[in-house]
Structure 1
Amino acid sequence: MEKARPYLIEGIKELGIPPIDPFKLPYLSVNRSIEEFSINSVLKNIKATGLGNYIIDKVEFDPAHLSSVVRYTLPWVYMEMEYDVLGQLLRIPLQSKGFFKGNFTNTQMVVKCTKKTYERDGETYLRIDKMSVKGQVGDGWVKMTSKNPEMQFAADLISNFFNENPRAVFDAVNPIFVEFTADLFKAMANQILANIPVKELFKEE
């Protein structure tokens, strides 16, 4: 993981590996609902800075079962995006369109996955079969600016509620956060693994 850091930060276009710092996503739609949090949103021009500063706490790999566990910490992540959101967070209605900025600190993640092999063009490749993610964000702040100045009060209501109650908000949204993160990580990992044969992944230096 440490040797891969510079390649992950810069990305490898030939292997379909996008840069992770900054990580950019042009478009994302999120439609989820749980007991204390529901959201229907469109996010555009997402930019996350700080993902390359990960600290690897522990790595476990079982070659016999092709399973692995990675525990890591993100000291800080700064995010910017354009948003259009409708939903409910605890007792706060979510209805706003505008621009989002936020900084999140001490995010601790545990990623578990199992893999399968498959053959393509005479080579053996890996793909992620199952993946689960557990995560907890330590702290953070957000600022939301409405596209319509007359609706800034709604953006401020959401921002102020978050900034005054970050732990309660993190706990409420955590089930959706880990589900989305697992889906994203699995898709990205399979995109990368599809370009690297197993013999290249585990070859001797």
Structure 2
Amino acid sequence: MKHLVVAFATVSCICALSHPDYIKPCHIKKPDFNKCALEHGNYAIPYLVKGDKQRGVPKMNPMKLPLVEVVESNFRLAMKDLSVYGLENSSLTDIKMNQTYLDLTFHADRLMFIGQYEVDGKILFLSLQGSGPCNLTSVGGNFRFVSVLQEYTEGKETFVKFNKPTMDYTLERAYFYLENLLDSGDQQIGIDINRILNENWEDVLKDIDVPLKETVTTVVESVVSKILRNIPAKNIFPD
């Protein structure tokens, strides 16, 4: 049994708004549509990272996540008051898109997740228990998202929904730092456990692969949905 909770410090805007200037349309019937979408997507990133309060898009330099919680049969990890740093330096590297399908990949040189954690359960061969500050860092990440685009009508306008996204990723490296592991006064124990986690970072990611992907896709789906809900489909895919 697996349970995942991701909380956001944002409020969605449900009012009809004109599409933002930083979202530039591309003509769907032109042969260079994907190239145009890639170029315009990278143009929009610096604006999106600053946030768009009017449309409920959160500030992302850093992005704030009040709670991320993963619960499996013998493992629980809760991360509170997370600040995600590094999104401002990310870039889109590939887009394949039409009116019903989106396949995009973005690259982030370094993402840092800094906050407070609570852990209780097994990962690798280790029984972990503790709480305190944490720093999880990814280096050289490539994140690919695939989603169905589904049209729906609200009032007299047709909009596009970012529906059921999935994610795959590759990292050059990941680093973990969990302070006060085992709630022990012996700092060396925590140092040794963190060293084991970092030496076996690929195996650690395999153990948390599914909830990690679900967490990231939930964040991305929330942000993209807040943007799309205020842009009529005709402005995204003009003839």
Same fold at TM > 0.5: yes
Indicate whether 1:184 and 2:219 are aligned: yes
Matched residue type, 1:116 = Q
Indicate whether 1:57 and 2:93 are aligned: yes
Q: Is the 8 A contact 2:45 2:91 kept in 1?
A: no
Deviation per CA, 1:92-144, whole angstroms, max 9, x where unpaired? Answer: 11211110023220111110001111111221111122211111222122222
Indicate whether 1:168 and 2:208 are aligned: no
Shift in alpha-carbon separation, 1:154–1:41, aligned structure 2, 3 A: farther
Name the structure 2 match of 1:18.
58
Q: Is the 8 A contact 2:142 2:169 kept in 1?
A: yes
Q: Is the 8 A contact 2:110 2:140 kept in 1?
A: yes
State which of 187, 194, 197 in structure 1 corresponds to 2:229: 194
In structure 1, the residue corresponding to 2:208 is in which secondary structure?
helix
Q: Which moved more, 1:19-28 or 1:67-76?
A: 19-28
State which of 78, 86, 104 in structure 2 corresponds to 1:42: 78
Indicate whether 1:113 and 2:147 are aligned: yes
For residue 176 of structure 1, report the CA deviation from its aligned partner. 2.5
Q: Is the 8 A contact 2:68 2:79 kept in 1?
A: yes
Shift in alpha-carbon separation, 1:41–1:168, aligned structure 2, 3 A: closer
Q: Is the 8 A contact 2:134 2:178 kept in 1?
A: yes
For residue 157 of structure 1, report the CA deviation from its aligned partner. 4.3
2-side partners of 1:151 and 1:27: how far apart? 28
2-side partners of 1:133 and 1:183: how far apart? 10
Equivalent residues, number: 198
1-side partners of 2:226 and 2:186: how far apart? 40
Deviation per CA, 1:141-187, whole angstroms, max 9, x where unpaired? Answer: 22222295626456434412112222222233223322322233223
Gaps of 5+ in 2: 1-40
Matched residue type, 2:166 = S
1-side partners of 2:177 and 2:208: how far apart? 18
Across the aligned residues of Structure 1 and Structure 2, the Cα RMSD in angstroms comes to 2.2
Shift in alpha-carbon separation, 1:195–1:151, aligned structure 2, 3 A: farther
In structure 2, the residue corresponding to 1:118 is in which secondary structure?
strand
Indicate whether 1:5 and 2:5 are aligned: no
List aligned pairs for 1:8-157, cutoff 5 A: 8-32=48-72, 39-63=75-99, 66-146=100-180, 150=185, 152=187, 155-157=190-192
1-side partners of 2:71 and 2:158: how far apart? 36
Matched residue type, 1:138 = E
Q: Is the 8 A contact 2:70 2:211 kept in 1?
A: no
